[in-house]
Amino acid sequence: MEQPPLTQNQTMSSQNANMDAANLDRGVMDCFPWLAVVPVIHGSGSYAVALRKFLLDTPFDALAVPLPPSFASAVREGVDRLPIVSAVVQMSVDDHERTQGTIVPIDPCQGVIAALRLAWSEHKAVEWIDPESATFPDASLLLPDPFAVEQTSLERFCCALLPAIPPLASQEALARVEFLADRLLGLRGRYRKVIALCHLSDWPWLRQALRARTIPTSANATISSQGKLSPRDHQDPLEDPVNYAVDSRTQVFLQGEIPFITALYERARAQLEDDARLGVEGLKELFLAARASYRADLGRRARQITPMLISQCLKYIRNQTLMDRRMTPSLYTIVRSAQQMMGDMFAIHIVNAAKEYAFDDYLPWPTMKMGIDEGDFPNEGVIPLQSRLPASPWEWKNLELNRPAVKQDKRKWASRWNPYQQCSWPEEDTRIESFRNRIVERARGMIGADLARSEKFSTSLMDGLDLRETLRHWYDGSLYVKVQPPSIGHLDATIMLFDHEPDPREYAWRATWFAEHMEESTLAFFATPFGKEILGPGVAVSTYGGAMFLYPPRPIDDIWTDPRLDFADTLEQRLVAAACMYAQSKHIALLSHAAPGIALRQIAKRFRRKLVHVPLHHFADSVVQQLRTFHVLNGKHVRSYAAHFIRKV
């Protein structure tokens, strides 16, 4: 049955219902007609965006922030420098004469900083309501992923988290909440509408304290004329807050989001783009940036990072994130997934790209280095720090990655290289011999395909119905079947040409290696010089341009110095000529991008051989790229420790 159209009264009633629901949501934040208390989850880009939208939709005259008045000048100066990330630090000395400090991250993805940025840009008044103290109650709280706020309203999201908020754990935390309530009540009559920000763990208890009193009554809230607590309320001497620039390599310990994602939020803000879902959608740009630097670093040795592989890795990251009961992945999950699917080198580039902040610039302040709950200052050294805008607890994990060697170590290892002994890495020998077997089987199948024929069906279907011949003789109703004779003979020579028209200047290393046992082939190849990339003591890496395999193995002369092959003009011609000269079978398997040209066919005809072309595109690019890259060891004794330096590319 068709639903009847709504009448005008019904339409107006539905609109009123939606307005009532919106007003009900707004009422959750309003503690008094003149005061709204809004909870904040620090260190979340999604929550900062939702808070900014809430402030834009709510008229207000003043913004009250949970920071002491002494931070006002330094925080204002840091916010004016955004999008450059910085920090405001206040030092103090405890009873044991140990220096400690509290820190305010000037981070665009901090909700309080985003609110201050908006308030000052809209010329709103700002009130600093937190007490002056050297210690800060631990307000860290394990909460659901704030990314869910993008799927609902800020009010409903905060109300859903109320059952997860524990009671205040200490008298210090209770006294602080009472102080905040008294400071807020002291603002009554000065502004028509005040929006006060507080940590989510303080939200229900601050509302309760506000409704329980109408005037400041707490003995702990004695305020001096400068707006600070009187000296008896803290024992540790406080220094003035100081602005610091943060070393770009350690900003990941300061920012709530991954620095690369934070830069995407700032770019969207500057270009007036939609910044919703950047916490998840930004991962695609992160992988593309890492892929660009990965290709620039490794060149031909770089593994093929295709869009399909990136899509599969992102799906794997999603599954791992859901298993961790989160909606947005941590940096550890991203890097570990990239390592497992794309290798150590790409994972290293993911880390470097994630730590890169696009808006990093000079600041006229001293530079500090951040660590886990500590900071390294130019004059004071390493000092423990406590954030006044604490995010959800982070779990730091170790992930072992084989980092590339520095230039100084490479020069030292290269100087100790013995040029008279080289050998291969056995694991790579096994892989390329297995690949050679696949090429031989493919070539034998092609030889047999040339001998296939069709015949009229009599008593057996033979190797299957030949539809083409059957349709060709449809007028007489005859059936034709395929006859595929078994492949005869064997192929003992295989050629792999990975590069079309190889440049002799690029592939300057040419060698002939002999088999160590009967499961290996006699190998002749041309490749890039291994001395350009030293990975460790006695460990180098090179890239095949082309190779010739003779199996079963047999002793041969060095094909690159053999005068009988001087008629060949190019590297690939010399490789084909050597294979034709030493092959015992009539056919030779040739793996290459394109079919052999006239010059190669004439060389094969000269030795009465026939080249069986196997197209290179029949095999996955990632597989071919891994096979092309091989490691060179400076003697068999290096195999005992080479695995420590050989990494997955």
What are the pLDDT digits (tens) for 582-611?
Answer: 999 999 999 999 999 999 999 999 999 999
Q: Is residue 415 pLDDT above 80, yes or no?
A: yes
CB-count burial class (<10 Å; 0-12, 13-18, 19+) for 500: exposed
Q: Is residue 10 pLDDT above 50, yes or no?
A: no
Q: What is the pLDDT of residues 16-52, one digit of tens each?
A: 434 344 444 557 888 899 999 999 999 899 999 999 9
Among the residue ranges 101-110, 259-268, 418-427, 440-449, the one predicted with the least confidence is: 440-449
463-485: average pLDDT: 79
Under DSSP, the state recorded for 132 is: P
Query: What type of residue sits at position 89?
Result: V
pLDDT confidence band for 456 (50 / 70 / 90)? confident
Q: What is the pLDDT of residue 100?
A: 86
Q: What is the pLDDT of residues 328-376, one digit of tens each?
A: 899 999 999 999 998 888 999 999 999 999 998 889 999 999 998 899 9
Distance CA(568)–CA(572), nearest Å, equals 9
Under DSSP, the state recorded for 479 is: -
CB 35 within 8 A of CB 206: no
- pLDDT, averaged across the chain: 85
User: Sign of the C-alpha dihedral, residues 76, 79, 80, 81?
Assistant: positive
Q: Which residue, 252, 443, 263, is CA-closest to 334?
A: 252
**What percent of the chain shows pLDDT beyond 90?**
54
89-109: average pLDDT: 86
pLDDT confidence band for 514 (50 / 70 / 90)? very high
Interacting residues of 419 by C-beta distance below 8 A, sequence separation 6+:
none
Q: What is the pLDDT of residue 489?
A: 63
Q: What is the pLDDT of residues 233-290, one digit of tens each?
A: 444 568 889 999 999 999 999 998 999 999 999 999 999 888 888 888 899 999 999 9
Q: What is the pLDDT of residue 21?
A: 41
| 560-568, long-range: CB < 8 A, 24+ apart | 560/510, 560/511, 560/512, 560/524, 560/526, 568/603
Q: What is the pLDDT of residue 214?
A: 60
Q: Is residue 1 pLDDT above 90, yes or no?
A: no
Q: Is residue 511 pLDDT above 90, yes or no?
A: yes
Distance CA(80)–CA(96), nearest Å, equals 37
Q: What is the pLDDT of residue 2?
A: 41
CB 63 within 8 A of CB 114: no
CB 420 within 8 A of CB 630: no
pLDDT confidence band for 649 (50 / 70 / 90)? low
- Residues forming beta bridges with residue 62, ordered by sequence position: 125, 194
Among the residue ranges 84-88, 208-212, 395-399, 508-512, the one predicted with the least confidence is: 395-399
pLDDT confidence band for 460 (50 / 70 / 90)? confident
CB-count burial class (<10 Å; 0-12, 13-18, 19+) for 296: exposed
| Phi, psi angles (nearest 5°) of residue 310 | -65, -40
**What percent of the chain shows pLDDT beyond 70?**
89
Q: Is residue 89 pLDDT above 80, yes or no?
A: yes
Q: What is the pLDDT of residue 215?
A: 55
Taking each helix axis from N to C end, the angle separating 259-270 and 344-355, rounded to the nearest 10 degrees, works out to 50
Q: Is residue 182 pLDDT above 60, yes or no?
A: yes
Q: Where are the beta strands (DSSP E) in 160-298?
A: 194-199, 242-246
pTM of the model: 0.76
Interacting residues of 583 by C-beta distance below 8 A, sequence separation 6+:
492, 493, 550, 607, 609
Interacting residues of 627 by C-beta distance below 8 A, sequence separation 6+:
431, 432, 435, 544
